[in-house]
Amino acid sequence: MRKKIVAGNWKMNGSLELVNNLLPRLVEVSEETQAQILVCPPAPYLTQAQALAGDKVAVGAQNCSEQASGAFTGEVSVSMLTELGMSHVLIGHSERRAIYSETDALVVAKVKAAVEAGLVAVLCVGETLEQREAGHTLGVVLGQIKVVLDELTVEQWSQLVVAYEPVWAIGTGKTATSAQAQDVHQAIRQQLAGYDVQQAEAVSILYGGSVKASNAGELFAQPDIDGALVGGASLVAEEFISICRQAD
């Protein structure tokens, strides 16, 4: 059966002190839960996070280059991430799409590079408020996923996690209701089943957008919600630990 995953996306927040304080606590929590805990701190902290994470807590990057190496100032390659022991990388976060103009084509190239390097790609998708209000939620979300699925083999899905993050729910305090989230997650599962019925059941689909200790339980109770991608609350030890415990 598919894994429950609780992932923390620190974005451009945190400090070495937070890494040093939080990681040992997460290692303790990982002993008590079946869920996979994943921490994605900013790139300069990856090595230290990995050194403290042991083999139960996974560490991932927030981005990677689609290029293998070369004159790409400021970029980080997938082989550098694997060399450091990273297991996951977030790809296509709405902030990367909106602020850094990442296109679907670039997202596909990054997912392919990550998967081919042996990383798990956490593919982030989601609609804006305008798109939701225009009734385009499923069209947008399933479209963002289709371009990736069309370029992967079903065997490579073992290295794919989907994170549904409605843009209007990110950092706004407005969570999608568990029913709204489940509707989209179910549609994603059906989309996957259109490619392979059996393997569709094995892909973890995470929800992200203002997840906190107080709403995680209800979200996790939905049949197609397999965990969370947590932003702000992943920087607060008690909040994030509570979310991890609720994922079991």
Residues near ligand 13P (CB under 6 A): 9, 93, 165, 170-171, 208-211, 229-233
Active site residue 136: no
Between 78 and 229, name the residue whose CB sits nearer to ligand 13P: 229
Q: Nearest distance from residue 31's CB to ligand 13P, in Å? A: 25
Between 79 and 245, name the residue whose CB sits nearer to ligand 13P: 245
Q: Give yes or no for a contact between 92 and 123, defined as CB atoms under 8 angstroms apart.
A: yes
Task: Give the C-alpha separation, 237 to 137, whole Å.
Answer: 33
Q: Which residue is closest to ligand 13P by CB?
A: 231
The residue annotated as part of the active site, out of 66, 95, 102, 165, is 165
Q: Give yes or no for a contact between 39 and 73, defined as CB atoms under 8 angstroms apart.
A: no
Active site residue 185: no
Q: Nearest distance from residue 229's CB to ligand 13P, in Å? A: 5
Q: Nearest distance from residue 69's CB to ligand 13P, in Å? A: 27
Give the sign of the dihedral formed by CA 67, CA 69, CA 75, CA 78. Answer: positive
Between 9 and 77, name the residue whose CB sits nearer to ligand 13P: 9
Between 117 and 233, name the residue whose CB sits nearer to ligand 13P: 233
Between 127 and 165, name the residue whose CB sits nearer to ligand 13P: 165
**Burial (CB count <10 Å: 0-12, 13-18, 19+), residue 17:** exposed
Between 67 and 242, name the residue whose CB sits nearer to ligand 13P: 242
CA angle at 180 for the pair 177 and 186, rounded to the nearest 5°: 135
In the block, which residue shows the tokens 């699925």? 149
Residues 6 or more apart in contact with residue 62 via CB below 8 angstroms: 9, 10, 11, 40, 42, 43, 89, 90, 93
In the block, which residue shows the tokens 């560490």? 59
The residue annotated as part of the active site, out of 88, 93, 95, 239, is 93
Q: Nearest distance from residue 212's CB to ligand 13P, in Å? A: 8
Task: Give the C-alpha separation, 62 to 96, whole Å.
Answer: 10
Q: Nearest distance from residue 180's CB to ligand 13P, in Å? A: 15
Residue 126: DSSP 8-state: -
In the block, which residue shows the tokens 């371009």? 147
Q: Nearest distance from residue 83's CB to ligand 13P, in Å? A: 25
Q: Which residues are bridge partners to 164 per DSSP?
A: 125, 207
Q: Give yes or no for a contact between 210 and 171, defined as CB atoms under 8 angstroms apart.
A: yes
Backbone angles phi, psi at 142, to 5 degrees: -70, -30
Catalytic residues, which ones? Answer: 93, 165
